[in-house]
Amino acid sequence: MEWYYDALPTNCVADWVCPAGTGIGYLEYSCTEGPEIGYKNLAAYLEKRPVPPFLVASTLLGPGYVDEQEVENIAKFIASLDKNIPYSLLAFHPHFYMDDLPTTSRNHAFGCLDIARKAGLKRVRIGNIHFLGETY
């Protein structure tokens, strides 16, 4: 495991773990036993050190790619590890190679937020909220 510094102060995933203005970013973790075992190992550290958390989950809500059922499945998996794992639902903004898609709709993002909370997660929020649109 290793830390790296994220020079982007507006990083919408790292804001769960970065005290304002520090630029400390993600904890990178690789696990040869498989991802589920790796996540369980990291989730075990949450009680030992809740701030900053060892594990932060995020899902980019790409229109037409990630639906509410997928978010529900992800949220249930995260909740099975620890209901206090931070989970960011990231609004998509068309840019560069994916400029043919709309932004994530407000209805889709808030619907997914509600689903993740109903799955039992306690620390869920929408990242990049300023990108949300009304298109679908």
| 77 occurs within a structural domain | yes
Q: What gap in Å lies between CA 118 and CA 76, rounded to an integer? A: 9
Give yes or no for residue 53 having a pLDDT over 90.
no
| 61 occurs within a structural domain | yes
| 57 occurs within a structural domain | yes
pLDDT at 2: 45
| 70 occurs within a structural domain | yes
Domain encompassing residue 46: 2-131
The number of distinct structural domains making up the chain is 1
Give yes or no for residue 123 having a pLDDT over 70.
yes
Name the strand (E) or helix (H) holding 91. strand 87-91
Give, in degrees to the nearest 5, the angle at Cα 122 between 103 and 112: 25
The pTM of this model reads 0.77
| 136 occurs within a structural domain | no
